[in-house]
Amino acid sequence: MAGEAHRKRLRALLRLAGVRAVGDFTLVEQAFVHESHAKEQGGASNERLEFLGDSVLGMVTAAWLFERFPDEPEGRLTLRKAAIVNDAQLAESARRLGFSDVVQLGAGMRNAGGANNTSILADAFEAFVAAIYVRYGIERARTFVLGEHVERLDHDPEALLDAKTRLQHYAQEHLSATPSYREESRGTPQAPHFDSCVVVDGKTLGTGSGPSKKAAQQAAAEAALRTLLAAEPSSKRRKK
C-alpha cells in the first residue's frame, strides 16, 4: 500500500488517538518502516521510535495498573505489566488494527510472511505509540494505548499471564520444580523457525514451534499446561 491510500489508513489510526489535525506525516510514516525496507529503499527505519515507544507504553500501562489495582503488591503489578506489553499481546492489537496492511517491508521479508510476524507487528505498535507521543503529546498517546490495547484485554490473572509464566507458577507450586527449555533452530534468516521442548522435573511435558525462540517456548508451555491440567482429577480442575 502506498501514496494517498497509505496515508488514509494512517489518518484513520490517528483518529483512534483523538488526532484530527494530522499535519506532517513524516514521523508517523516512519513508525511503519521496518529495517528491511529501509535497507532496500534508503531512509530511516522505525527502530529508534520502537525504543522510545517501549518506554511510553510501559509508563502509560504502569500508571493505569497503579490506579486500577490499588491493593495489589509491586510483584503482582509487575507481572500484569509484563503480560500487557509482551510482543504477543501487542501484535494481536496491531493485527486487529490492520498494521499488517501498512507496515513497510523489504521484498524478501514480505515474501516470507513478515507482515504477520509477531515481532515486526509488536515493534510497529511501539513505534506508532512513540510517533504519537512525539508528534501529538502524551495525552494522545495515552488515549491510543489504553483505548486500543490495555482496556481491551481480559485482565483476569489466568487470562493475562503468558503461558511460560503460568507454567512456572504451576510447576513451582504443585511440583516444586522449575521448567527448562531446549530449542533447535531451522529455516532461513528471512523465514526463521524454532522448535522447543519444555522439561519439568526430568520429564518432557510439551513441545512447540514458532518463528522465534520466544514463540516456540510459549507454544511448548501451552502444550505442557494442557498436559498437566488434563492429568488432574476432574474435581480439582473444577475448583481452579
Known catalytic residues?
54, 126
What is the helix (H) or strand (E) element at residue 79, kind and residue range?
helix 74-84
Between helices 74-84 and 47-68, what is the axis angle to 10°? 140
C-alpha cell at 153: 484485554
- How far is it, in rounded angstroms, from Cα 179 to Cα 197? 10
Closest CA to 96 of 67, 123, 120, 116: 116
- How far is it, in rounded angstroms, from Cα 31 to Cα 130? 8
Closest CA to 100 of 111, 115, 89, 86: 115
Return the SS3 of 182. strand
- How far is it, in rounded angstroms, from Cα 85 to Cα 77? 12
Return the SS3 of 200. strand
